[in-house]
Chains A and B, each alone.
Chain A
Amino acid sequence: MGGKSEPTKSESMATKTTNPDLLNSSFFPFKSLKLKTKQQELLLRISILGLVYILAFIARLFSVLRYESMIHEFDPYFNYRTTLFLTEKGFYEFWNWFDSESWYPLGRIIGGTLYPGLMVTAALIYWTLRFLRFFVHIREVCVLTAPFFASNTTLVAYFFGKEIWDTGAGLVAAVLIAICPGYISRSVAGSYDNEAVAIFALLLTFYLFVKAVNTGSLAWALGSAFGYFYMVSAWGGYVFIINLVPLYVLVLLITGRYSMRLYIAYNCMYILGMLLAMQIRFVGFQHVQSGEHMGAMGVFLLMQVFYFLDWVKYQLNDTKLFQTFLRITVTSAILVGGIALGVGTASGYISPWTGRFYSLLDPTYAKDHIPIIASVSEHQPTAWSSFMFDYHILLFLFPAGLYFCFKRLTDATIFIVMYGLTSLYFAGVMVRLILVATPAVCLISAIAVSATVKNLTSLLRTKQKVSQTGSTKGAGSSKASSKVTLDQSQPFQKNGAIALLLGVFYLLSRYAIHCTWVTSEAYSSPSIVLAARGAHGNRIIFDDYREAYYWLRQNTPTDAKIMSWWDYGYQITAMGNRTVIVDNNTWNNTHIATVGRAMSSYEDEAYDIMRSLDVNYVLVVFGGVTGYSSDDINKFLWMVRIGGGVFPVIKEPDYLVNGEFRVDKGASPKMLNCLMYKLCYYRFGELTTEYGKPPGYDRARGVEIGNKDIKLEHLEEAYTTSNWIVRIYRVKPPTNRL
């Protein structure tokens, strides 16, 4: 669908500036419908934007069509559960919610530890639809929130492009961002995560701020403060905004572009934005206490100094006197600022950069100090293939766009250049942040495309103009001779321009094909349902996760506590409706380390830990029968590392043989007898998984397991799903004392 409509759009974009008369005469046979050029242009723009809006929405619907309308992955299940709670109980209950169903026995203050933007947005859409008497289920609203906001992002991208460059760049930016895989990856239908609305809020904030800087109007600055508030309510990545905007202001100050408009825009946005942001409980007082936000405050004070100096200079009209004044003020301001910062940091009042953001500046920090952050696959550094996969032609259009931006430096282009460069640096540090860089890359590439196409088509048009004026105006011999020489080289230039335009058209159509293919193949799988090809090419669906969670929901007592690795916590609480010990929020490292320790100990020690946590059921994920490689045995070393980080009795070398992780006969004895091994491979030794292989052949690791004769003393098997992916065990109560 994307491939077919894209070529017509690029074609129409390329030709709309060349032949308006042609359009008029051949496509509008009715003389009464003769529109002026400006009206035709407006009609074209609106129709293009409308098509882009629809395209952005439908390109994200692959998984809904192939599987069903369900929530994907892990984190979205928590968001879904909280949205459900919000719509059922109302806003006050939601804001003050203390949840005792997760992190047993600690509980979690959900109201104070989440970013409510996404849930409130979905709930508002749901209530609006209900008000209009469309009685949809909240799950449908949640599933389709992300594509809806992706469409809105394309509109904002259009206006932003218009602000930075011109309407052509805006249109190209809207098209590019509608199908860019870097954005689609986190905003498919079903991916009900914070980034779905956060990217919209990010781009909106930036657009409104640049508009405020360009116009100097307080109203636009107020708008950008509201955009910033929406961003803070939606995602923890708002720290990027509160550091990029002051950095941009600083760069403008350094390059001598200080102006009253900048003062108005930044000050209004900072004060109002900061106040609004502090209304979110999770953010709290961080804007005045955290080291990550001090840059904004520093630039705020610097702006006051600049304004004051500017005013004094204007009043004095005498340079010598002003110089002395300048010296005194600047030195005293720097002294005061430095002392305040030093005292604040040294006394600990200003907290240092948190681990999550510090690891962006120093990528090796997390691996050594915080294994939980290092273990998340999205936090790994980006490979070149990921860049190519997610950006395609935008990768080389980006430097071209940078060139155009530097040719025409305004306040707005400086902003987009800074946004592009900083976000690309962070995208190189962490895969997940490719998403943040996508709007900048799309905008700058759009500038390159639009400027190039504009130059080429103007080359095409000059020949007609020159020949017309050459025939009508005979005056001026020098003018005539220059026109004649221009005329002689024209045919060559015109052919070249047509060839280049065809090249641009080809590139953009390849981009569209690539994006559609990537969306279809890579980014449309709900990780909770797995699919594979059978022997005859038919599609086999593995729905084991949901099978296990519904078994839990229907066959366990309502106050049962489930112990599993933290990946599955959100899904168990949302679908199984049972209390879990640890979940994806990972706010308490010691609690997770306790679970990790239990999984890596022998059964007796693990039983003591499980009794102390009141565990009734243990859930493990096992991929040996299906060849599913994201199972708990493959994650086991992370459990050991995290557990060993808090409890030194767990030593990683105990589980390795010559530094190698093995599960076959040559594995270490601790590995062969730990709880995770026993729970995963219980009764597996009798099972033949593949034709021609011995029983107990683990298809995910590709080896025959070492310990086939497993006896469980304190646990008994409660349920194993049809493809052995999820296995649930019941913890037996202690035997009676004799």
Chain B
Amino acid sequence: MARSSTSKDAQDLFHSLRSAYLATPTNLKIIDLYVCFAVFTALIQVAYMSLVGSFPFNSFLSGVLSCIGTAVLAVCLRIQVNKENKEFKDLAPERAFADFFLCNLVLHLVIINFLG
């Protein structure tokens, strides 16, 4: 009895999430796709590390952290660009993108130094 209600809940959840998500604007969906890609790459790297071991550790860390870093920065960009966020109403999307670009630049420069 409880099981069927939870599975029904899960199905309802899934459907309402899906229908709500389809309504989001395209530029946000692109950013979401980028975030999923970055996280997926990070998971592949972790799986590879579990196969071959973690030496050299700095290379592994820099790879995983670059994926996580770009994912996080993309989420920050999404927050700032999303028109429904009232806190960022008067922030120009160009400025948000410039900040995103600058942070990514710093991130990748550090990654390149850290790769070893």
Which A residues lie at the B interface, using CB under 8 A? Answer: 216-219, 221-222, 225, 259-261, 263-264, 267-268, 271-272, 274-276, 278-279, 285, 288, 307, 312, 315-318, 321, 324-325
Contacts and interface: CB of A to CB of B under 8 A. Distances in A.
22 contacts: A216-B80, A216-B88, A218-B76, A218-B100, A222-B102, A222-B103, A259-B87, A260-B88, A264-B79, A267-B75, A271-B68, A271-B69, A271-B72, A272-B103, A272-B110, A275-B111, A275-B114, A278-B61, A279-B113, A312-B17, A315-B20, A325-B13
Interface string B1-36: 000001001001100110011000000000000000
B65 A260 contact: no
B76 A268 contact: yes
B106 A272 contact: yes
Given A216-B87, A272-B110, A316-B20, A321 B72 contact: no
B50 interface: no
Contact of B16 (A216, A221, A225, A318): A318
B73 interface: yes
A135 to B, nearest CB: 33
A267 B9 contact: no
A278 B114 contact: yes
A316 B17 contact: yes
Contacts of B79: 260, 263-264
B13 A260 contact: no
Interface residues of B, number: 36
A318 B62 CA distance: 41
B82 to A, nearest CB: 9
B103 A321 contact: no
A271 B13 contact: no
A358 to B, nearest CB: 25
Given A259-B87, A264-B76, A278-B114, A317 B20 contact: yes
Given A271-B65, A275-B65, A307-B75, A315 B107 contact: no
Interface centre among B72, B88, B96 (most CB of A within 10 A): B72
Interface string B74-85: 011001100001
Nearest to B68: A271
Contacts of A312: 17
A276 B12 CA distance: 44
Given A260-B88, A263-B79, A272-B69, A288 B17 contact: no
Given A219-B102, A272-B69, A321 B16 contact: yes
Contacts of A264: 76, 79-80
Given A216-B88, A264-B79, A275-B111, 6 more contacts: A219-B99, A263-B76, A267-B75, A275-B107, A276-B110, A315-B17
Interface string B47-74: 0000000000110011001001100110
Contacts, number: 90
A315 B61 CA distance: 34
Contacts of B103: 218, 221-222, 268, 272
A315 B21 contact: yes
Contacts of B106: 222, 225, 272
A268 B13 contact: no
A268 B73 contact: yes
Nearest to A263: B79
A267 B87 contact: no
Contacts of A288: 61
A312 B13 CA distance: 10
Interface of B: 6, 9, 12-13, 16-17, 20-21, 57-58, 61-62, 65, 68-69, 72-73, 75-76, 79-80, 85, 87-88, 91, 96, 99-100, 102-103, 106-107, 110-111, 113-114
Q: Is the interface of B mostly helix, strand, loop or mixed?
A: helix
Contacts of A222: 99, 102-103, 106
Nearest to B15: A321
A438 to B, nearest CB: 31
Contact of B87 (A261, A278, A307, A317): A261
A94 B72 CA distance: 35
Contact of B107 (A216, A271, A316, A325): A271
A222 B99 CA distance: 9
A321 B13 contact: yes
B80 to A, nearest CB: 7
B102 A272 contact: no
A260 B75 contact: no
Contacts of A263: 75-76, 79
A272 B107 contact: yes
A218 B107 CA distance: 13
Contact of A324 (B9, B62, B87): B9
A259 B88 CA distance: 11
A324 B8 CA distance: 11
Given A216-B88, A222-B106, A275-B69, A285 B57 contact: yes
Nearest to B105: A222
B57 to A, nearest CB: 6
B31 to A, nearest CB: 13
A312 B16 CA distance: 10
Given A321-B12, A324-B9, A279 B76 contact: no
A279 B113 CA distance: 8
Nearest to A226: B106
Nearest to B111: A275
A599 B50 CA distance: 52
- List of 8 A-B pairs having minimum Cβ-Cβ separation, nearest first: A218-B99, A315-B20, A264-B76, A271-B69, A275-B110, A267-B72, A260-B79, A219-B99
Nearest to B23: A315
Contacts of B68: 271
Contacts of A274: 65
B80 A218 contact: yes
A222 B107 CA distance: 10
Nearest to B100: A218
Given A219-B99, A307-B75, A260 B107 contact: no
Contacts of A325: 13
A312 B18 CA distance: 11
Contacts of B21: 315
A217 B9 CA distance: 38
A275 B69 CA distance: 9
A278 B65 CA distance: 11
A177 B42 CA distance: 46
A318 B12 CA distance: 11
Contacts of B96: 218
A173 to B, nearest CB: 28
Nearest to A229: B110
Interface centre among B6, B73, B96 (most CB of A within 10 A): B73
B113 to A, nearest CB: 6
Contacts of B100: 218
A359 B48 CA distance: 39
A285 B110 contact: no
Contacts of A225: 106
Contacts of B85: 260
Interface centre among B16, B21, B62 (most CB of A within 10 A): B16
Interface centre among B6, B69, B113 (most CB of A within 10 A): B69
Contacts of A217: 91, 99
Nearest to B96: A218
Contacts of B88: 216, 260
Contact of A268 (B6, B61, B72, B91): B72
Contacts of B87: 216, 259-261
Interface centre among A259, A272, A307 (most CB of B within 10 A): A272
